[in-house]
Amino acid sequence: MRIIYQVGRMDYRTDLQQFVVRDFEGKNYKFEAKYELSSFALREFLKSQGIDSKVVLIYPVSIVLNEGLGNANFDEDLKNELREIFKNPSSYLKNPNDFIERIPLEKARDEKIIIHSLGTYLKENPIELDSSYDDIVLEILLDMIKRYLKGTVDIFYIDISSGHNIYISAMIEASRHFVVFTRLRHWIHKERIPKVYLVFSDPILGSAATSFDIHIQPQIYKAFFSSPITREDVISKNFSFLKNIYEEINNNGKGNLVDLQKQQVQLVRQNRKSLREKLEMFVYIFSAIKNNIPLYIYYLPYHTISDIEEELEKLINYAESKLNQGYLNSPKLDKGAYLKAILSLGFYMGLVDVLKVFGVTSFDQDTGLDLKVLKEGFEKIYEIFTLPMNNVMLGNEISNDSEKIEKWILEKGSFNYWEKLLKILYPEKQLSSCDERNYFAHSGFEGNVTDVRFDGKNIFVRYTEDIKFETINNWLKSRV
């Protein structure tokens, strides 16, 4: 399935235009079709190629606040409703969907979404729509992610042939965030990343041409192994950006919260806690990979893909419930906070995909983890994330430790029991608490908290029972 987005025009004076597709995916064509919008012609072309697609028109809510529509060839009942809207648009702005659906223009669309508008409209009874650009970006981005999560869309076309600059800019920005999200989501199965194309026709207004070519350009954005959540977000601000997503309910100084409000407060806090748990686990995994601490990751009880996806869907539904409360104003959501959460959840799913493929999960503590298996797995993981220095450092650390363990075996004989790594590396040293600097300098194989054993063939490792994971978690947070 392919989705074509375009800003609707609802211009009753617009004649059908002759659109032409001449070049598509490197092949030459001359497909012509007459339609109100270029997106309809593109859909018709795709259909001729046996490709299933849908046109989703984006309607700024202000599109009806155009007194010129009163001159359109509508039935009298619809004209009367329009006149009432021009006099008092507040009712329409609470629920614009039903009225827009009944306007007999651009009916060739498959679906529509309604977004907020900015500015002052109507001459006789002016009304100002107080919305934010960031909310408009989020409205489009959330719709794209919802369609992606259904697993049926492989290509998005962003048709910028119509619409005011603000809505075109919002579409392009939303598509950029979407591409980054999907690239963070898929590090292994990159074929699952939906492609995004920018579409535009030759200029129509003021042109003497009789036909207009449709141009299709790929949109390519890169994603890097970099956390959307910063050290400041985690350490200095203690995930406080989550309060800008799931906001506390204010009783406006009217005394105690009533029972319904108490339930809402409890739900908001539960949602915030649930989201924080997912984001904290993402931070631990990301920081451990970034800082070359592979053994630690085997001890993390990370979430399933379905759990993370469910969290993302819950977040999207919550944001949309805020955005859909009315169109006179928009809620002015914190786009930065939402992007941190959305991109991090996508990245978290991508990390879990990789860990699952290479078997990075809990192991039997009595048996331990084969050091060779760890090394081979993380060589490939670091290659996927383009972390060559981590490969070098891990290889050097394991090689040095293995050499000393083999020397110990020659001197002491085979030892199929657990021994502190420090006793093997530095027999003269006394055991002490885990040192942060040594922990990171030795790829997490800090001698005081790492046990090793040799079964006659392979070296196995594990952390000691007294290791303080809470302390290590804090170290990793400070190095995200």
Measured CA to CA, the distance from residue 65 to residue 399 in angstroms comes to: 72
pLDDT for residue 395 is more than 60 = yes
Confidence grade of residue 398 (pLDDT, cut at 50, 70, 90): very high
**End-of-domain residue from the set 336, 357, 378:** 357
Q: Looking at the domain assignment, is residue 110 inside a domain?
A: yes
308: number of Cβ within 10 Å: 24
Distance CA 373, CA 378 (A): 9
Cα–Cα–Cα angle for 151, 152, 158, rounded to 5 degrees = 110
- For residue 301, name the pLDDT band (cuts at 50, 70, 90): very high
Report the CATH number at residue 127: 3.40.50.10640
Q: 247 with 349, same domain?
A: yes
User: Token digits for 478?
Assistant: 């400070």
Name the 3-class secondary structure at 396: helix
Domain end: 304, 324, 357, which one?
357
pLDDT of residue 124: 87
| Coil vs helix vs strand at 220 | coil
Tokens for 124, please give them.
Answer: 């006789």
Concatenating the DSSP letter of every residue in 412-424 gives H----S-EEHHHH
Please provide the average confidence, as pLDDT, over all residues in the chain. 94
pLDDT at 414: 74
> Are 220 and 193 a contacting pair, CB within 8 Å?
no
In a domain? residue 459: yes
Same domain, 414 and 333: no
Q: What's the structural domain count of the chain?
A: 3
**pLDDT interval class at 71 (50, 70, 90):** confident
Q: Is residue 172's pLDDT more than 70?
A: yes
* pTM attached to this predicted model: 0.95
What is the pLDDT at residue 254?
A: 57
Q: How far apart are the first and last CA of the chain?
A: 38
Pick the more confident residue, 77 or 394. 394
225 falls within a domain: no
Domain match, 51 and 142 both? yes
Which segments within 169-233 are labelled E, that is strand?
195-201, 212-218
Residue 252 forms part of a structural domain: yes
Highest mean pLDDT pick, 13-17, 181-185, 408-412: 181-185
259 and 132 in one domain?
no
| Range with lowest mean pLDDT among 181-195, 245-259, 360-374 | 245-259
Query: Could you tell me what percentage of the chain is helix, strand and coil, using 3-state DSSP and rounding each to the nearest 5?
Result: 50, 15, 35
- Same domain, residue pair 179 and 62: yes
Range list of H helices, 58-164: 76-87, 90-94, 97-102, 133-149
Q: Which residues of 132-171 are buried (b: 16+ CB within 10 A; e: fewer)?
A: bbbbbbbbbbbbbbebbeeeebeebbbbbbbbeeebbebb
pLDDT over 70 (residue 252)? no
* Secondary structure of 235-261 as H, E, C letters: HHCCCHHHHHCCCCCCCCCCCCCCHHH
Establish how many alpha carbons lie within 13 A of residue 294's alpha carbon, considering only the half-sphere containing its beta carbon.
27
Residue 147 and residue 35 share a domain:
yes
Dump pLDDT digits (tens) for 357-389: 999 999 999 999 999 999 999 999 999 999 999
Tell me the CA distances in angstroms from 479 to 286, 291, 339, 426, 473, one per residue in order.
Answer: 10, 8, 21, 28, 10
Residue 253 pLDDT: 54
Q: What is the pLDDT of residue 180?
A: 97
Phi first, then psi: give them for residue 356, nearest 5 degrees.
Answer: -65, -40
Helix runs in 291-304, H state only: 294-297
Same domain, 329 and 385: no
Asked whether residue 261 carries a pLDDT value surpassing 80, the answer given is no
- Residue 275 placed within a domain: yes
Residue 87 to residue 194: CA distance in whole angstroms: 45
- Structural domain ending residue among the three candidates 185, 218, 251: 218
| pLDDT tens digit sequence for 305-346 | 999 999 999 999 999 999 999 999 999 999 999 999 999 999
Question: Which residues are within 8 A (CB) of 329 and not within 5 positions of it... i.e. 6 or more apart?
Answer: 129, 130, 131
- The band of 255, judged by pLDDT with boundaries at 50, 70 and 90, is low
Beta partners for residue 197, in sequence order: 157, 218
Q: Tokens for 330?
A: 């928009």
Chain segment 429-440, per-residue pLDDT in tens: 898 999 999 999
d(CA 82, CA 66): 9
Q: Is residue 68 one of the residues assigned to a domain?
A: yes
- 374 and 319 part of one domain: no
- Which residues, including other chains, have CB under 8 Å from residue 343's CB and lie 6 or more apart? 177, 180, 181, 184, 228
Domain encompassing residue 290: 231-357
Q: How far is CA 280 from the centre of its chain?
A: 16
